[in-house]
Structure 1
Protein backbone atom coordinates (compact mmCIF):
# COMPACT_ATOMS: atom_id res chain seq x y z
CA UNK A 1 0.00 0.00 0.00
CA UNK A 2 1.30 3.44 -0.92
CA UNK A 3 1.35 5.81 2.04
CA UNK A 4 0.62 9.50 1.61
CA UNK A 5 3.17 11.86 3.14
CA UNK A 6 1.93 15.44 3.49
CA UNK A 7 4.68 18.00 4.04
CA UNK A 8 3.07 21.17 5.34
CA UNK A 9 4.70 24.37 4.08
CA UNK A 10 4.35 28.01 5.12
CA UNK A 11 6.15 31.29 4.50
CA UNK A 12 9.59 31.34 6.09
CA UNK A 13 10.00 27.56 6.49
CA UNK A 14 13.54 26.18 6.38
CA UNK A 15 14.05 24.59 2.98
CA UNK A 16 16.21 21.66 4.10
CA UNK A 17 13.67 20.76 6.81
CA UNK A 18 11.18 19.95 4.06
CA UNK A 19 13.51 19.17 1.16
CA UNK A 20 15.59 16.62 3.05
CA UNK A 21 12.65 14.39 4.04
CA UNK A 22 11.11 14.96 0.59
CA UNK A 23 14.19 13.40 -1.02
CA UNK A 24 14.21 10.52 1.47
CA UNK A 25 10.64 9.44 0.74
CA UNK A 26 11.04 9.89 -3.03
CA UNK A 27 14.29 7.93 -3.05
CA UNK A 28 12.84 5.09 -0.96
CA UNK A 29 9.97 4.78 -3.42
CA UNK A 30 12.30 4.92 -6.40
CA UNK A 31 14.38 2.07 -5.01
CA UNK A 32 11.27 -0.06 -4.59
CA UNK A 33 10.12 0.72 -8.12
CA UNK A 34 13.58 -0.26 -9.37
CA UNK A 35 12.92 -3.64 -7.71
CA UNK A 36 9.61 -3.94 -9.57
CA UNK A 37 7.56 -3.11 -6.50
CA UNK A 38 4.96 -0.35 -6.01
CA UNK A 39 6.18 2.90 -4.43
CA UNK A 40 5.87 3.09 -0.67
CA UNK A 41 5.17 6.81 -0.54
CA UNK A 42 3.22 9.51 -2.34
CA UNK A 43 4.66 12.87 -1.27
CA UNK A 44 2.38 15.90 -1.28
CA UNK A 45 3.52 19.47 -0.61
CA UNK A 46 0.62 21.37 0.91
CA UNK A 47 -0.23 24.81 2.26
CA UNK A 48 -3.36 26.29 3.81
CA UNK A 49 -5.30 27.56 0.81
CA UNK A 50 -2.84 26.04 -1.65
CA UNK A 51 -0.99 29.36 -1.81
CA UNK A 52 2.60 29.74 -3.00
CA UNK A 53 5.15 29.98 -0.19
CA UNK A 54 8.55 31.61 0.14
CA UNK A 55 11.15 29.64 2.07
CA UNK A 56 13.69 31.36 4.31
CA UNK A 57 16.22 32.90 1.95
CA UNK A 58 13.71 33.65 -0.81
CA UNK A 59 13.06 30.45 -2.78
CA UNK A 60 9.42 30.34 -3.89
CA UNK A 61 7.48 27.10 -4.22
CA UNK A 62 4.40 27.02 -6.43
CA UNK A 63 1.61 24.65 -7.55
CA UNK A 64 1.06 23.37 -4.03
CA UNK A 65 -1.88 21.35 -2.73
CA UNK A 66 -4.54 23.00 -0.58
CA UNK A 67 -4.57 21.33 2.85
CA UNK A 68 -8.38 21.47 2.72
CA UNK A 69 -8.26 19.19 -0.32
CA UNK A 70 -6.43 16.50 1.66
CA UNK A 71 -8.96 14.22 3.30
CA UNK A 72 -6.21 12.30 5.05
CA UNK A 73 -2.49 11.54 5.15
CA UNK A 74 -0.59 8.64 6.64
CA UNK A 75 2.33 10.86 7.66
CA UNK A 76 2.22 14.60 8.27
CA UNK A 77 5.54 16.42 8.48
CA UNK A 78 5.94 20.00 9.73
CA UNK A 79 9.26 21.76 9.02
CA UNK A 80 10.84 24.42 11.19
CA UNK A 81 11.44 28.11 10.70
CA UNK A 82 13.73 30.89 11.87
CA UNK A 83 10.75 33.12 12.73
CA UNK A 84 8.95 30.84 15.16
CA UNK A 85 6.79 33.62 16.57
CA UNK A 86 5.38 34.46 13.14
CA UNK A 87 4.51 30.84 12.41
CA UNK A 88 2.90 30.42 15.83
CA UNK A 89 0.63 33.39 15.15
CA UNK A 90 -0.68 31.87 11.91
CA UNK A 91 -4.11 30.51 12.85
CA UNK A 92 -4.67 28.88 9.44
CA UNK A 93 -1.43 26.98 9.81
CA UNK A 94 -2.33 25.78 13.29
CA UNK A 95 -5.76 24.66 12.14
CA UNK A 96 -4.23 22.77 9.23
CA UNK A 97 -1.81 20.97 11.56
CA UNK A 98 -4.60 20.06 13.97
CA UNK A 99 -6.88 18.76 11.22
CA UNK A 100 -4.27 16.76 9.35
CA UNK A 101 -2.80 15.30 12.54
CA UNK A 102 -6.24 14.14 13.63
CA UNK A 103 -6.60 12.02 10.50
CA UNK A 104 -3.00 10.79 10.19
CA UNK A 105 -1.23 7.81 11.68
CA UNK A 106 2.00 9.71 12.30
CA UNK A 107 2.78 13.40 12.77
CA UNK A 108 6.38 14.57 12.74
CA UNK A 109 8.31 17.81 13.00
CA UNK A 110 11.76 18.96 12.02
CA UNK A 111 13.75 21.46 14.08
CA UNK A 112 11.56 24.29 15.43
CA UNK A 113 8.51 22.68 13.85
CA UNK A 114 8.21 21.13 17.32
CA UNK A 115 6.88 24.47 18.57
CA UNK A 116 4.07 24.27 16.03
CA UNK A 117 3.20 20.78 17.22
CA UNK A 118 3.24 22.00 20.81
CA UNK A 119 0.93 24.91 19.95
CA UNK A 120 -1.46 22.43 18.35
CA UNK A 121 -1.48 20.39 21.58
CA UNK A 122 0.27 17.39 19.99
CA UNK A 123 3.20 17.25 22.43
CA UNK A 124 1.09 17.20 25.57
CA UNK A 125 2.65 14.72 28.01
CA UNK A 126 5.12 13.51 25.37
CA UNK A 127 8.92 13.67 25.15
CA UNK A 128 10.27 15.82 22.32
CA UNK A 129 13.34 17.47 20.88
CA UNK A 130 14.18 20.40 18.61
CA UNK A 131 17.21 22.41 17.47
CA UNK A 132 19.84 22.45 20.24
CA UNK A 133 19.62 26.25 20.53
CA UNK A 134 15.90 26.04 21.28
CA UNK A 135 15.69 23.16 23.75
CA UNK A 136 15.18 25.49 26.73
CA UNK A 137 12.38 27.39 25.03
CA UNK A 138 10.63 24.16 24.09
CA UNK A 139 10.82 23.07 27.69
CA UNK A 140 9.09 26.32 28.64
CA UNK A 141 6.10 25.54 26.42
CA UNK A 142 4.38 23.89 29.35
CA UNK A 143 2.89 20.60 28.23
CA UNK A 144 5.98 18.81 26.91
CA UNK A 145 6.73 15.93 29.28
CA UNK A 146 10.49 15.94 28.68
CA UNK A 147 12.83 17.76 26.33
CA UNK A 148 15.58 15.43 25.19
CA UNK A 149 19.00 16.71 24.12
CA UNK A 150 21.72 14.90 22.22
CA UNK A 151 19.48 12.92 19.87
CA UNK A 152 18.57 13.34 16.21
CA UNK A 153 14.93 12.41 16.77
CA UNK A 154 12.45 11.36 19.43
CA UNK A 155 9.81 8.76 18.58
CA UNK A 156 6.87 9.16 20.96
CA UNK A 157 4.55 6.82 19.11
CA UNK A 158 2.10 8.74 16.96
CA UNK A 159 4.16 11.94 17.25
CA UNK A 160 7.83 12.32 16.36
CA UNK A 161 10.15 15.31 16.64
CA UNK A 162 13.68 15.86 15.40
CA UNK A 163 16.62 18.14 16.02
CA UNK A 164 17.90 20.88 13.79
CA UNK A 165 17.89 20.99 10.01
CA UNK A 166 19.63 17.85 8.68
CA UNK A 167 18.25 15.82 11.59
CA UNK A 168 15.04 15.85 9.56
CA UNK A 169 16.74 13.58 7.03
CA UNK A 170 17.64 11.13 9.80
CA UNK A 171 14.07 11.31 11.10
CA UNK A 172 12.66 10.60 7.63
CA UNK A 173 14.93 7.58 7.30
CA UNK A 174 13.65 6.39 10.69
CA UNK A 175 10.10 6.79 9.37
CA UNK A 176 11.02 4.67 6.34
CA UNK A 177 12.43 2.04 8.69
CA UNK A 178 9.34 2.15 10.88
CA UNK A 179 6.73 2.10 8.12
CA UNK A 180 8.51 -0.12 5.59
CA UNK A 181 11.78 -1.75 6.71
CA UNK A 182 15.19 -1.00 8.20
CA UNK A 183 16.73 -2.51 5.08
CA UNK A 184 14.95 0.01 2.84
CA UNK A 185 16.00 2.85 5.14
CA UNK A 186 19.63 1.72 4.95
CA UNK A 187 19.46 1.36 1.16
CA UNK A 188 17.90 4.82 0.92
CA UNK A 189 20.63 6.30 3.11
CA UNK A 190 23.26 4.64 0.93
CA UNK A 191 21.62 6.01 -2.22
CA UNK A 192 21.66 9.49 -0.66
CA UNK A 193 25.31 8.97 0.38
CA UNK A 194 24.15 9.53 3.95
CA UNK A 195 25.71 8.13 7.13
CA UNK A 196 22.58 6.99 8.97
CA UNK A 197 22.05 4.86 12.06
CA UNK A 198 18.81 3.44 13.48
CA UNK A 199 20.06 4.79 16.82
CA UNK A 200 18.84 8.39 17.23
CA UNK A 201 21.77 9.20 19.50
CA UNK A 202 24.32 8.48 16.76
Structure 2
Protein backbone atom coordinates (compact mmCIF):
# COMPACT_ATOMS: atom_id res chain seq x y z
CA UNK A 1 0.00 0.00 0.00
CA UNK A 2 2.80 2.37 0.91
CA UNK A 3 4.59 1.51 -2.35
CA UNK A 4 1.42 2.36 -4.34
CA UNK A 5 1.08 5.72 -2.63
CA UNK A 6 4.72 6.53 -3.26
CA UNK A 7 4.30 5.58 -6.93
CA UNK A 8 1.19 7.78 -7.23
CA UNK A 9 3.01 10.67 -5.57
CA UNK A 10 5.96 10.17 -7.88
CA UNK A 11 3.70 10.08 -10.95
CA UNK A 12 1.90 13.27 -9.92
CA UNK A 13 5.22 14.98 -9.25
CA UNK A 14 6.56 13.94 -12.67
CA UNK A 15 3.44 15.30 -14.38
CA UNK A 16 3.80 18.54 -12.42
CA UNK A 17 7.45 18.75 -13.44
CA UNK A 18 6.56 18.12 -17.07
CA UNK A 19 3.95 20.89 -16.96
CA UNK A 20 6.70 23.26 -15.79
CA UNK A 21 9.08 22.18 -18.50
CA UNK A 22 6.79 22.12 -21.49
CA UNK A 23 7.28 25.43 -23.24
CA UNK A 24 6.31 25.32 -26.91
CA UNK A 25 8.42 26.83 -29.67
CA UNK A 26 6.88 29.96 -31.15
CA UNK A 27 7.12 30.10 -34.95
CA UNK A 28 5.93 32.84 -37.23
CA UNK A 29 6.60 34.60 -40.50
CA UNK A 30 7.22 38.35 -40.51
CA UNK A 31 7.29 40.68 -43.52
CA UNK A 32 9.80 43.46 -42.82
CA UNK A 33 9.43 46.68 -44.79
CA UNK A 34 11.25 48.95 -42.34
CA UNK A 35 11.14 47.83 -38.68
CA UNK A 36 9.05 44.97 -37.32
CA UNK A 37 9.15 43.72 -33.71
CA UNK A 38 8.02 40.51 -32.02
CA UNK A 39 7.38 40.31 -28.26
CA UNK A 40 7.91 37.30 -25.97
CA UNK A 41 7.24 37.23 -22.22
CA UNK A 42 9.86 35.47 -20.05
CA UNK A 43 8.44 34.32 -16.73
CA UNK A 44 11.63 33.66 -14.80
CA UNK A 45 14.98 35.38 -14.49
CA UNK A 46 17.80 33.18 -15.80
CA UNK A 47 15.65 31.31 -18.31
CA UNK A 48 17.42 30.34 -21.53
CA UNK A 49 15.99 32.17 -24.55
CA UNK A 50 17.05 30.57 -27.82
CA UNK A 51 15.90 30.68 -31.41
CA UNK A 52 16.76 31.46 -34.98
CA UNK A 53 15.62 33.49 -37.97
CA UNK A 54 16.03 33.19 -41.74
CA UNK A 55 15.28 35.78 -44.42
CA UNK A 56 13.36 33.62 -46.89
CA UNK A 57 13.20 35.89 -49.95
CA UNK A 58 16.79 37.09 -49.55
CA UNK A 59 17.32 38.47 -53.05
CA UNK A 60 16.47 41.40 -55.32
CA UNK A 61 15.79 41.39 -59.03
CA UNK A 62 19.09 42.73 -60.30
CA UNK A 63 21.25 40.91 -57.75
CA UNK A 64 21.58 37.35 -56.51
CA UNK A 65 21.66 38.36 -52.84
CA UNK A 66 20.19 41.10 -50.65
CA UNK A 67 22.68 42.88 -48.33
CA UNK A 68 20.77 41.64 -45.26
CA UNK A 69 18.80 42.90 -42.25
CA UNK A 70 19.62 43.88 -38.66
CA UNK A 71 18.38 41.95 -35.61
CA UNK A 72 18.17 43.36 -32.06
CA UNK A 73 16.94 41.90 -28.76
CA UNK A 74 15.88 44.36 -26.03
CA UNK A 75 15.26 43.48 -22.38
CA UNK A 76 12.28 44.75 -20.31
CA UNK A 77 14.61 47.40 -18.88
CA UNK A 78 15.34 48.71 -22.38
CA UNK A 79 18.89 47.35 -22.57
CA UNK A 80 20.20 45.69 -25.72
CA UNK A 81 20.74 42.02 -24.95
CA UNK A 82 21.92 40.93 -28.39
CA UNK A 83 22.39 42.46 -31.83
CA UNK A 84 23.35 41.16 -35.26
CA UNK A 85 24.01 43.33 -38.32
CA UNK A 86 23.43 42.70 -42.03
CA UNK A 87 22.69 38.99 -42.03
CA UNK A 88 20.38 36.72 -44.01
CA UNK A 89 19.79 34.46 -41.00
CA UNK A 90 21.38 33.30 -37.77
CA UNK A 91 20.84 31.60 -34.39
CA UNK A 92 20.77 33.28 -30.98
CA UNK A 93 20.81 32.21 -27.34
CA UNK A 94 21.09 34.10 -24.06
CA UNK A 95 20.18 33.95 -20.39
CA UNK A 96 17.35 36.31 -19.50
CA UNK A 97 18.78 38.94 -17.11
CA UNK A 98 15.30 39.44 -15.67
CA UNK A 99 11.70 38.39 -16.15
CA UNK A 100 9.35 40.45 -18.29
CA UNK A 101 8.56 41.28 -21.91
CA UNK A 102 11.45 40.97 -24.37
CA UNK A 103 11.42 42.68 -27.74
CA UNK A 104 12.92 41.09 -30.88
CA UNK A 105 13.20 43.63 -33.71
CA UNK A 106 14.11 43.25 -37.38
CA UNK A 107 15.33 46.31 -39.27
CA UNK A 108 15.40 46.29 -43.07
CA UNK A 109 17.47 49.30 -44.27
CA UNK A 110 16.53 48.71 -47.92
CA UNK A 111 13.32 49.32 -49.84
CA UNK A 112 12.83 45.68 -50.87
CA UNK A 113 10.44 43.90 -48.42
CA UNK A 114 11.88 40.86 -46.66
CA UNK A 115 9.96 37.82 -45.37
CA UNK A 116 11.56 36.47 -42.19
CA UNK A 117 10.93 33.03 -40.67
CA UNK A 118 11.32 33.44 -36.89
CA UNK A 119 11.45 30.70 -34.21
CA UNK A 120 11.89 31.23 -30.47
CA UNK A 121 11.87 29.04 -27.36
CA UNK A 122 12.09 29.96 -23.68
CA UNK A 123 13.60 27.11 -21.68
CA UNK A 124 12.84 26.92 -17.97
CA UNK A 125 14.11 24.30 -15.53
CA UNK A 126 12.28 24.57 -12.18
CA UNK A 127 14.32 24.62 -8.99
CA UNK A 128 13.69 22.69 -5.80
CA UNK A 129 11.17 25.29 -4.55
CA UNK A 130 8.89 24.61 -7.54
CA UNK A 131 8.73 20.84 -6.97
CA UNK A 132 7.28 18.47 -4.40
CA UNK A 133 9.83 17.07 -1.99
CA UNK A 134 10.82 13.48 -2.80
CA UNK A 135 14.19 11.76 -3.00
CA UNK A 136 13.27 10.25 -6.38
CA UNK A 137 12.60 13.61 -8.01
CA UNK A 138 16.20 14.83 -8.33
CA UNK A 139 17.35 12.26 -10.95
CA UNK A 140 13.98 12.40 -12.71
CA UNK A 141 14.19 16.20 -12.82
CA UNK A 142 17.65 16.03 -14.36
CA UNK A 143 16.72 13.42 -16.97
CA UNK A 144 13.49 15.14 -18.01
CA UNK A 145 15.25 18.50 -18.25
CA UNK A 146 18.03 17.02 -20.36
CA UNK A 147 15.60 15.22 -22.68
CA UNK A 148 13.37 18.28 -22.96
CA UNK A 149 16.18 20.67 -23.83
CA UNK A 150 17.72 18.16 -26.26
CA UNK A 151 14.34 17.79 -27.99
CA UNK A 152 13.85 21.55 -28.21
CA UNK A 153 17.36 21.97 -29.61
CA UNK A 154 16.69 19.40 -32.31
CA UNK A 155 13.30 20.95 -33.12
CA UNK A 156 14.78 24.45 -33.39
CA UNK A 157 17.55 23.14 -35.63
CA UNK A 158 15.01 21.40 -37.88
CA UNK A 159 12.97 24.59 -38.20
CA UNK A 160 16.12 26.57 -38.97
CA UNK A 161 17.24 24.12 -41.67
CA UNK A 162 13.72 24.02 -43.14
CA UNK A 163 13.64 27.82 -43.39
CA UNK A 164 17.11 27.88 -44.98
CA UNK A 165 15.96 25.26 -47.47
CA UNK A 166 12.93 27.41 -48.33
CA UNK A 167 15.25 30.39 -48.85
CA UNK A 168 17.51 28.38 -51.17
CA UNK A 169 14.51 27.20 -53.18
CA UNK A 170 13.28 30.77 -53.46
CA UNK A 171 16.73 31.95 -54.54
CA UNK A 172 16.98 29.20 -57.17
CA UNK A 173 13.54 30.06 -58.52
CA UNK A 174 14.40 33.76 -58.60
CA UNK A 175 17.72 33.02 -60.36
CA UNK A 176 15.90 30.90 -62.94
CA UNK A 177 13.48 33.74 -63.65
CA UNK A 178 16.34 36.24 -63.98
CA UNK A 179 18.10 33.95 -66.47
CA UNK A 180 14.91 33.71 -68.53
CA UNK A 181 14.37 37.48 -68.47
CA UNK A 182 18.02 38.15 -69.36
CA UNK A 183 17.82 35.66 -72.24
CA UNK A 184 14.61 37.20 -73.59
CA UNK A 185 16.11 40.67 -73.26
CA UNK A 186 19.24 39.55 -75.09
CA UNK A 187 17.19 38.10 -77.96
CA UNK A 188 15.11 41.29 -78.18
CA UNK A 189 18.26 43.41 -78.19
CA UNK A 190 19.85 41.28 -80.95
CA UNK A 191 16.64 41.44 -82.96
CA UNK A 192 16.54 45.24 -82.58
CA UNK A 193 20.21 45.62 -83.59
CA UNK A 194 19.67 43.35 -86.61
CA UNK A 195 16.63 45.37 -87.71
CA UNK A 196 18.60 48.62 -87.40
CA UNK A 197 21.43 47.13 -89.44
CA UNK A 198 19.01 46.04 -92.18
CA UNK A 199 17.40 49.49 -92.30
CA UNK A 200 20.82 51.17 -92.39
CA UNK A 201 22.08 48.95 -95.23
CA UNK A 202 18.88 49.49 -97.24
CA UNK A 203 19.18 53.23 -96.90
CA UNK A 204 22.86 53.08 -97.81
CA UNK A 205 22.17 51.13 -101.01
CA UNK A 206 19.19 53.37 -101.83
CA UNK A 207 21.40 56.47 -101.66
CA UNK A 208 24.11 54.77 -103.76
CA UNK A 209 21.62 53.86 -106.52
CA UNK A 210 20.21 57.40 -106.56
CA UNK A 211 23.75 58.86 -106.79
CA UNK A 212 24.65 56.56 -109.72
CA UNK A 213 21.57 57.58 -111.65
CA UNK A 214 22.50 61.21 -111.39
So what's the TM-score if we normalise by structure 1?
Answer: 0.28
User: Highest relative contact order (Cα 8 Å, sep 6+), 1 or 2?
Assistant: 2
So what's the TM-score if we normalise by structure 2?
Answer: 0.27
Higher helix share: 2
Higher strand share: 2
